[in-house]
Amino acid sequence: MSETEPQFSVDQCRIVELPKISDPRGNLTFIEGRRHVPFDFQRVYYLYDVPDGAERGGHAHKALHQLIIPMSGSFDVMLDDGRKKKQFQLDRSNFGLYVCPLIWRELHSFSSGSVCMVLASNTYDEADYYRDYSEFLRAIGGQP
């Protein structure tokens, strides 16, 4: 890997379409391990009752892969690999956003009553976080 080709970039993060079974009684979406998610997941967590104007995230993970799914409502996700930023609006429950390791993320503009579910490739480990943006940039060899 050369210095100009980082191992992980926002270009590897992408929208993943999940199956949707539509029915007059409503929609059904299911997620089957590696068939729909590009990693094995060991943890599920969700954000809810997010107050108006609140922001979540504000960190990067060293090794964790995640799939972020808007179970209800909508919110925006800003991804930053230290060189390039990408913004996603998540508002459909059968579309998730795959986020690879070493990506700084900020989640904002949560609609009232929205629920953000995250599938994660590992159990919770605070040592896997970069919570300081400058430290994150230093770790990936960016500025400063």
Catalytic center residues: 59
Segment 106 to 125, residues that bind ligand TYD, using CB under 6 A:
124
Give the total of residues touching ligand TYD (CB under 6 A): 7
Binding flag, residue 14, ligand TYD (CB under 6 A): no
CB atoms within 10 A of CB 32: 9
Choices 9-17, 23-31, 56-64, 90-98; region in contact with ligand TYD by CB under 6 A: 56-64
Report how far residue 66's alpha carbon sits from residue 13's, in angstroms, rounded to the nearest whole number.
Answer: 10
Is residue 45 near ligand TYD by the rule CB under 6 A?
yes
Q: Is residue 48 at the binding interface for ligand TYD, with CB under 6 A as the rule?
A: no
Q: Where are the alpha helices (DSSP H) in 42-110?
A: none
Which helix (H) or strand (E) segment is 34 a member of?
helix 33-36
